[in-house]
Amino acid sequence: MPAFSLDPAQTAWCAELRALAAERLRPLAEKGEPGHVNRPLVAELGRLGLLERLFTSGAVDLCLMRESLAYACTEAETALALQGLGAHPVHAYGTPAQRERWLPRVAEGSAVAAFALSEPGAGSDAAALELRADRDTSRSGVSPAAALAAEPDGPARWRLTGEKCWISNAPEADFYTVFARTTPGAGARGVTAFLVPADRSGLTGAGLDMLSPHPIGTLTFDAVPVTADDVLGEPERGFRVAMGTLNLFRPSVGAFAVGMARAALDATLAHTARRDAFGGKLKDLQTVAHQVAEMALRTEAARLMVYAAATAYDEGARDVPKRAAMAKLLATETAQYVVDQAVQLHGARALRRGHLLEHLYREVRAPRVYEGASEVQRGIIAKELYAEALR
């Protein structure tokens, strides 16, 4: 697909998604409890076949889904994205047994997934995480030395101890992709990814009251048992699992932002065309018209960069980390600007609880922070640029 346009089938599909979001998903979203997983909404995403597409489509289709849903129902967009983020490591790196157990349930919307990377002291610096995966040598009646010596004859066992924070869908998810340190002091090279079901002994959590309405919480690991059967990918290669997942989802965070920006822009076009001001319509004021033009310009530029990055991902390009970081950075910063300007042009009515722009104003802030803050994206871009220049 060209990075700069959609074919007729894609255009029609996006229109269908916006209609489904408005007619079938938004009513369910409005019945949900802020800060908690909306399982009826997740189940409806499964019935519509959208969750299954997380595992059968590429980055471009993921972006089309996220942008289209975000335009009409941000809660539905977020529910879909969180299922993908939490389950993609299982899809891409899991064993046949792991995939068989969890992916059909994620696709039908009966199991909720979560991606547990961030910690109280390791948010944007993912390589600094401290959740410990200690070798379990506590087998009854066997000395620690003998237990370790017997390891080759059975699956490796660890105990997870520590905390995760700012985890979307926690503590209500059914399973978590968890990143833990298996080798102290080794930075990114000493991290292993584990698939941890929510019912494991020692795993507890609590919700956090956040500005945006989707569920976010903390997780506490008190010697939670895991084995080699729970490892995603290879031991000590968990950072690769994390970055592989983020390289896919960062451009689609940009698509989420573009969807919100386009919703804010369309609302502004409608409002300024009908609002009387100073003897004419608001749109007739040059300052207003130029502001709307700037909003449209930035939104389209962000959209083009998002789909260029998604296309690069689908084609296996070498510069995906740089393009993904650029797309997320530009789109999320642009959406913040567009929504803010939309509020300004609407005036006080946009700040009233329940107004579309009041909702978008709360929703648009978080994407500049999660999955790598804007400052982190700039660091990734610079690192990749210098690597290319010195190659």
Q: Is 101 helix (H, G, I), strand (E, B) or coil?
A: helix
Are the C-beta atoms of 73 and 17 separated by less than 8 Å? no
- Please name which of 336, 340, 318 lies closest in space to residue 374, comparing C-alpha atoms: 336
Does the predicted model carry a pTM greater than 0.85?
Answer: yes
Catalytic residue among 16, 371, 375, 388: 371
Assigned token pair, 42: 């997740």
**pLDDT value of position 137:** 74
What is the residue whose two structure tokens read 């408005």? 22
**pLDDT value of position 273:** 95
Residue 165: count of CB within 10 angstroms of its CB:
19
Q: Where do the domains of the chain lie, and which CATH numbers do they carry?
A: 8-108 (1.10.540.10), 113-236 (2.40.110.10), 240-389 (1.20.140.10)
Q: Is 358 a catalytic residue?
A: no
Query: What's the CA gap between 289 and 285, in Å, rounded?
Result: 6
Please report, in tens digits, the pLDDT of each residue of the chain (391 residues total). 445 678 899 999 999 999 999 999 999 999 999 899 999 999 999 999 999 999 998 999 999 999 999 999 999 999 999 999 999 999 999 999 999 999 999 999 999 999 999 998 876 676 788 999 999 876 544 433 344 344 444 567 999 999 999 999 999 999 999 999 999 888 778 999 999 999 999 999 999 998 877 899 999 999 999 999 999 999 999 999 999 998 899 999 999 999 999 999 999 999 999 998 888 899 999 999 999 999 999 999 999 999 999 999 999 999 999 999 999 999 999 999 999 999 999 999 999 999 999 999 999 999 999 888 999 999 999 999 999 999 8
Are the C-beta atoms of 352 and 252 separated by less than 8 Å? no
**pLDDT value of position 185:** 84
**pLDDT value of position 153:** 41
- Please name which of 216, 244, 209 lies closest in space to residue 114, comparing C-alpha atoms: 216
The contacts of residue 262 (CB under 8 Å, 6+ apart) are 67, 71, 299, 303
Q: Is 276 helix (H, G, I), strand (E, B) or coil?
A: strand
**pLDDT value of position 126:** 64
